[in-house]
Chain A
Protein backbone atom coordinates (compact mmCIF):
# COMPACT_ATOMS: atom_id res chain seq x y z
CA UNK A 1 0.00 0.00 0.00
CA UNK A 2 2.72 2.45 1.06
CA UNK A 3 5.01 1.62 -1.87
CA UNK A 4 2.02 2.04 -4.21
CA UNK A 5 1.25 5.44 -2.73
CA UNK A 6 4.92 6.45 -2.83
CA UNK A 7 4.74 6.99 -6.59
CA UNK A 8 3.46 10.59 -7.08
CA UNK A 9 1.48 9.77 -10.26
CA UNK A 10 -0.21 6.78 -8.60
CA UNK A 11 -0.76 8.83 -5.45
CA UNK A 12 -2.59 11.48 -7.51
CA UNK A 13 -4.81 8.80 -9.06
CA UNK A 14 -5.64 7.17 -5.72
CA UNK A 15 -6.07 10.39 -3.74
CA UNK A 16 -8.45 11.78 -6.37
CA UNK A 17 -11.14 9.45 -4.99
CA UNK A 18 -9.73 8.80 -1.48
CA UNK A 19 -9.89 12.51 -0.48
CA UNK A 20 -13.62 12.96 -1.26
CA UNK A 21 -14.40 9.51 0.20
CA UNK A 22 -12.81 10.43 3.54
CA UNK A 23 -14.53 13.84 3.27
CA UNK A 24 -17.95 12.17 3.06
CA UNK A 25 -17.04 9.85 5.97
CA UNK A 26 -15.96 12.89 8.05
CA UNK A 27 -19.21 14.78 7.33
CA UNK A 28 -21.33 11.71 8.22
CA UNK A 29 -19.39 11.05 11.45
CA UNK A 30 -19.58 14.72 12.52
CA UNK A 31 -23.32 14.73 11.70
CA UNK A 32 -23.75 11.75 14.06
CA UNK A 33 -21.11 12.70 16.65
CA UNK A 34 -21.96 16.37 17.28
CA UNK A 35 -25.65 15.92 18.26
CA UNK A 36 -24.77 12.71 20.16
CA UNK A 37 -22.14 14.60 22.15
CA UNK A 38 -24.14 17.79 22.66
CA UNK A 39 -27.67 16.47 23.24
CA UNK A 40 -27.96 12.70 23.67
CA UNK A 41 -24.93 11.86 25.84
CA UNK A 42 -25.44 11.98 29.64
CA UNK A 43 -24.14 14.74 31.91
CA UNK A 44 -21.39 13.76 34.37
CA UNK A 45 -22.25 13.28 38.05
CA UNK A 46 -19.45 15.68 39.05
CA UNK A 47 -18.72 17.86 36.04
CA UNK A 48 -22.33 18.28 34.92
CA UNK A 49 -22.81 19.53 31.35
CA UNK A 50 -19.19 20.71 31.04
CA UNK A 51 -18.13 17.10 30.41
CA UNK A 52 -19.42 17.58 26.83
CA UNK A 53 -16.28 19.59 26.11
CA UNK A 54 -14.43 16.25 26.33
CA UNK A 55 -15.89 15.18 22.94
CA UNK A 56 -14.13 17.99 21.08
CA UNK A 57 -11.10 18.39 23.36
CA UNK A 58 -9.88 14.79 23.68
CA UNK A 59 -9.96 13.87 19.94
CA UNK A 60 -8.10 17.12 19.17
CA UNK A 61 -5.45 16.15 21.75
CA UNK A 62 -5.15 12.54 20.51
CA UNK A 63 -4.85 13.52 16.86
CA UNK A 64 -2.47 16.43 17.41
CA UNK A 65 -0.09 13.92 19.03
CA UNK A 66 -0.70 11.20 16.41
CA UNK A 67 -0.24 13.65 13.53
CA UNK A 68 3.09 14.75 14.97
CA UNK A 69 4.10 11.07 15.18
CA UNK A 70 3.06 10.64 11.53
CA UNK A 71 5.17 13.70 10.62
CA UNK A 72 8.10 12.16 12.51
CA UNK A 73 7.88 8.93 10.47
CA UNK A 74 7.49 10.87 7.20
CA UNK A 75 10.42 13.15 8.12
CA UNK A 76 12.61 10.13 8.89
CA UNK A 77 11.72 8.52 5.53
CA UNK A 78 12.35 11.83 3.73
CA UNK A 79 15.67 12.35 5.49
CA UNK A 80 17.02 8.81 5.07
CA UNK A 81 15.61 7.80 1.66
CA UNK A 82 15.23 11.33 0.24
CA UNK A 83 11.71 10.55 -0.88
CA UNK A 84 10.01 13.78 -2.00
CA UNK A 85 6.51 12.44 -1.24
CA UNK A 86 7.49 11.84 2.40
CA UNK A 87 8.57 15.49 2.76
CA UNK A 88 5.33 16.60 1.10
CA UNK A 89 3.32 14.39 3.50
CA UNK A 90 5.08 15.78 6.58
CA UNK A 91 4.59 19.37 5.47
CA UNK A 92 0.96 18.76 4.45
CA UNK A 93 0.14 17.29 7.87
CA UNK A 94 1.66 20.16 9.88
CA UNK A 95 -1.07 22.85 9.52
CA UNK A 96 -3.73 20.25 10.37
CA UNK A 97 -1.81 19.11 13.46
CA UNK A 98 -1.20 22.72 14.49
CA UNK A 99 -4.94 23.50 14.21
CA UNK A 100 -5.84 20.41 16.27
CA UNK A 101 -3.24 21.34 18.92
CA UNK A 102 -4.53 24.94 19.02
CA UNK A 103 -8.13 23.72 19.39
CA UNK A 104 -7.02 21.32 22.13
CA UNK A 105 -5.47 24.21 24.08
CA UNK A 106 -8.50 26.53 23.65
CA UNK A 107 -11.14 23.89 24.47
CA UNK A 108 -8.98 22.67 27.37
CA UNK A 109 -8.92 26.19 28.74
CA UNK A 110 -12.72 26.43 28.34
CA UNK A 111 -13.05 23.14 30.22
CA UNK A 112 -10.56 24.16 32.92
CA UNK A 113 -12.31 27.42 33.82
CA UNK A 114 -15.51 25.84 35.26
CA UNK A 115 -13.93 22.59 36.56
CA UNK A 116 -10.56 23.76 37.96
CA UNK A 117 -11.43 27.41 38.53
CA UNK A 118 -8.59 28.57 36.28
CA UNK A 119 -8.15 29.11 32.54
CA UNK A 120 -4.48 28.14 32.60
CA UNK A 121 -1.93 26.50 34.87
CA UNK A 122 1.77 26.01 34.11
CA UNK A 123 1.69 22.31 34.90
CA UNK A 124 3.29 19.41 33.02
CA UNK A 125 0.44 18.44 30.67
CA UNK A 126 -0.67 21.95 29.71
CA UNK A 127 2.85 23.27 29.26
CA UNK A 128 4.05 20.28 27.19
CA UNK A 129 0.94 20.62 24.99
CA UNK A 130 1.73 24.32 24.49
CA UNK A 131 5.30 23.30 23.57
CA UNK A 132 3.87 20.87 20.97
CA UNK A 133 1.79 23.71 19.47
CA UNK A 134 4.86 25.97 19.35
CA UNK A 135 6.92 23.20 17.68
CA UNK A 136 4.21 22.89 15.02
CA UNK A 137 4.36 26.66 14.40
CA UNK A 138 8.18 26.58 14.33
CA UNK A 139 8.11 23.70 11.81
CA UNK A 140 5.72 25.63 9.52
CA UNK A 141 7.75 28.82 9.91
CA UNK A 142 10.96 26.98 8.97
CA UNK A 143 9.39 25.63 5.77
CA UNK A 144 8.20 29.14 4.84
CA UNK A 145 11.50 30.83 5.70
CA UNK A 146 13.75 28.80 3.36
CA UNK A 147 13.28 29.17 -0.39
CA UNK A 148 15.28 26.10 -1.45
CA UNK A 149 12.70 23.32 -0.89
CA UNK A 150 15.26 20.50 -0.54
CA UNK A 151 17.16 22.40 2.16
CA UNK A 152 13.91 23.40 3.86
CA UNK A 153 12.75 19.77 3.85
CA UNK A 154 16.03 18.57 5.40
CA UNK A 155 16.08 21.20 8.17
CA UNK A 156 12.35 20.85 8.88
CA UNK A 157 12.76 17.05 9.10
CA UNK A 158 15.58 17.46 11.65
CA UNK A 159 13.45 19.90 13.70
CA UNK A 160 10.52 17.47 13.53
CA UNK A 161 12.65 14.53 14.70
CA UNK A 162 14.12 16.58 17.59
CA UNK A 163 10.57 17.64 18.54
CA UNK A 164 9.51 13.97 18.80
CA UNK A 165 11.05 13.97 22.30
CA UNK A 166 8.05 16.04 23.40
CA UNK A 167 5.49 13.30 22.57
CA UNK A 168 6.33 10.99 25.51
CA UNK A 169 6.62 14.09 27.73
CA UNK A 170 3.04 15.09 26.82
CA UNK A 171 1.77 11.53 27.30
CA UNK A 172 3.51 10.76 30.61
CA UNK A 173 3.36 14.29 32.07
CA UNK A 174 0.29 13.34 34.14
CA UNK A 175 2.22 10.36 35.57
CA UNK A 176 5.58 12.05 36.15
CA UNK A 177 4.40 15.29 37.75
CA UNK A 178 1.69 16.41 40.11
CA UNK A 179 -0.81 18.10 37.81
CA UNK A 180 -4.32 19.50 37.71
CA UNK A 181 -4.98 17.46 34.57
CA UNK A 182 -6.53 14.06 35.12
CA UNK A 183 -4.48 10.93 34.29
CA UNK A 184 -5.24 8.80 31.21
CA UNK A 185 -8.82 7.55 31.48
CA UNK A 186 -9.53 5.79 28.15
CA UNK A 187 -6.35 3.94 27.11
CA UNK A 188 -4.97 2.75 30.43
CA UNK A 189 -4.09 -0.54 32.13
CA UNK A 190 -7.23 -2.07 33.59
CA UNK A 191 -9.57 -0.65 30.95
CA UNK A 192 -11.37 2.63 30.43
CA UNK A 193 -12.58 4.60 33.45
CA UNK A 194 -15.21 6.37 31.35
CA UNK A 195 -18.85 5.29 31.31
CA UNK A 196 -19.69 3.31 28.11
CA UNK A 197 -22.49 5.85 27.38
CA UNK A 198 -19.76 8.46 26.91
CA UNK A 199 -17.35 6.25 24.95
CA UNK A 200 -19.72 6.03 21.94
CA UNK A 201 -19.79 9.77 21.14
CA UNK A 202 -16.12 10.11 22.11
CA UNK A 203 -14.96 7.48 19.58
CA UNK A 204 -17.39 8.74 16.92
CA UNK A 205 -15.86 12.21 17.25
CA UNK A 206 -12.33 10.74 17.31
CA UNK A 207 -12.99 8.88 14.02
CA UNK A 208 -14.57 12.06 12.56
CA UNK A 209 -11.35 13.98 13.36
CA UNK A 210 -9.32 11.14 11.80
CA UNK A 211 -11.41 11.17 8.59
CA UNK A 212 -11.12 14.96 8.42
CA UNK A 213 -7.35 14.68 8.85
CA UNK A 214 -7.12 12.11 6.02
CA UNK A 215 -9.23 14.32 3.72
CA UNK A 216 -7.21 17.46 4.38
CA UNK A 217 -3.89 15.60 4.24
CA UNK A 218 -4.68 14.21 0.78
CA UNK A 219 -5.95 17.62 -0.39
CA UNK A 220 -2.84 19.40 0.93
CA UNK A 221 -0.53 16.81 -0.67
CA UNK A 222 -2.33 17.08 -4.01
CA UNK A 223 -2.00 20.89 -3.86
CA UNK A 224 1.74 20.58 -3.12
CA UNK A 225 2.31 18.14 -6.01
CA UNK A 226 0.35 20.33 -8.44
CA UNK A 227 2.24 23.42 -7.24
CA UNK A 228 5.60 21.68 -7.82
CA UNK A 229 4.50 20.64 -11.31
CA UNK A 230 3.42 24.19 -12.19
CA UNK A 231 6.57 25.76 -10.76
CA UNK A 232 8.83 23.20 -12.50
CA UNK A 233 7.11 23.93 -15.83
CA UNK A 234 7.51 27.68 -15.27
CA UNK A 235 11.23 27.25 -14.53
CA UNK A 236 11.66 25.06 -17.64
CA UNK A 237 9.89 27.76 -19.67
CA UNK A 238 12.16 30.48 -18.24
CA UNK A 239 15.36 28.51 -18.95
CA UNK A 240 14.18 27.70 -22.51
CA UNK A 241 13.54 31.40 -23.15
Chain B
Protein backbone atom coordinates (compact mmCIF):
# COMPACT_ATOMS: atom_id res chain seq x y z
CA UNK B 1 0.00 0.00 0.00
CA UNK B 2 1.18 3.52 -0.78
CA UNK B 3 2.13 5.17 2.52
CA UNK B 4 1.40 8.84 3.18
CA UNK B 5 0.23 10.62 0.06
CA UNK B 6 -1.72 13.29 1.97
CA UNK B 7 0.36 16.08 0.40
CA UNK B 8 -0.91 15.02 -3.05
CA UNK B 9 -4.48 14.78 -1.75
CA UNK B 10 -4.40 18.26 -0.17
CA UNK B 11 -2.84 19.73 -3.32
CA UNK B 12 -5.55 18.16 -5.52
CA UNK B 13 -8.37 19.45 -3.28
CA UNK B 14 -6.78 22.91 -3.00
CA UNK B 15 -6.46 23.20 -6.79
CA UNK B 16 -10.03 21.95 -7.32
CA UNK B 17 -11.70 24.16 -4.70
CA UNK B 18 -9.76 27.29 -5.71
CA UNK B 19 -10.32 26.60 -9.43
CA UNK B 20 -14.07 26.09 -9.04
CA UNK B 21 -14.39 29.07 -6.67
CA UNK B 22 -12.52 31.34 -9.10
CA UNK B 23 -14.73 30.17 -11.98
CA UNK B 24 -17.91 30.74 -9.93
CA UNK B 25 -16.71 34.20 -8.87
CA UNK B 26 -15.86 35.31 -12.43
CA UNK B 27 -19.18 34.00 -13.84
CA UNK B 28 -21.21 35.61 -11.02
CA UNK B 29 -19.49 38.99 -11.35
CA UNK B 30 -19.94 38.98 -15.12
CA UNK B 31 -23.62 38.02 -14.83
CA UNK B 32 -24.23 40.77 -12.25
CA UNK B 33 -22.44 43.37 -14.37
CA UNK B 34 -24.56 42.68 -17.47
CA UNK B 35 -27.76 42.38 -15.41
CA UNK B 36 -27.07 45.83 -13.91
CA UNK B 37 -26.48 47.31 -17.39
CA UNK B 38 -29.67 45.71 -18.74
CA UNK B 39 -31.65 47.08 -15.76
CA UNK B 40 -30.19 50.56 -16.36
CA UNK B 41 -31.20 50.29 -20.01
CA UNK B 42 -34.76 49.34 -19.07
CA UNK B 43 -34.91 52.23 -16.59
CA UNK B 44 -33.72 54.66 -19.28
CA UNK B 45 -36.34 53.34 -21.70
CA UNK B 46 -39.11 53.85 -19.16
CA UNK B 47 -37.87 57.36 -18.35
CA UNK B 48 -38.04 58.37 -22.02
CA UNK B 49 -41.14 60.38 -22.94
Contact = CB atoms under 8 A, between A and B. Distances in A.
Q: Dominant SS at the A interface?
A: helix
A226 interface: yes
Interface residues of B, number: 29
Contact of A220 (B11, B17, B31): B31
23 contacts: A38-B13, A43-B1, A47-B2, A47-B5, A49-B2, A49-B6, A52-B12, A56-B12, A56-B16, A57-B12, A96-B23, A103-B15, A103-B16, A107-B12, A110-B11, A110-B15, A114-B5, A216-B24, A220-B30, A226-B31, A227-B34, A230-B38, A233-B41
Interface residues of A, number: 40
Contacts of B2: 46-50, 114-115
Nearest to A96: B23
B34 A223 contact: yes
Interface in B1-44: 1-6, 8-9, 11-13, 15-17, 19-20, 23-24, 27-28, 30-31, 33-35, 37-38, 41
Contact of A53 (B8, B33, B38): B8
A47 B20 CA distance: 26
A174 B45 CA distance: 58
A236 B11 CA distance: 51
Contacts of A96: 23, 27
Contacts of B31: 219-220, 222-223, 226
A229 B12 contact: no
Interface of A: 34, 38, 43-50, 52-53, 56-57, 60, 95-96, 99, 102-103, 106-107, 110-111, 113-115, 212, 215-216, 219-220, 222-224, 226-227, 229-230, 233
Interface of B: 1-6, 8-9, 11-13, 15-17, 19-20, 23-24, 27-28, 30-31, 33-35, 37-38, 41, 45
Contacts of B37: 226-227, 230
A55 to B, nearest CB: 9
Contacts of A212: 20, 24
A183 to B, nearest CB: 20
A220 B34 CA distance: 10
Contacts of A230: 34, 37-38, 41
B8 A110 contact: yes
B27 A50 contact: no
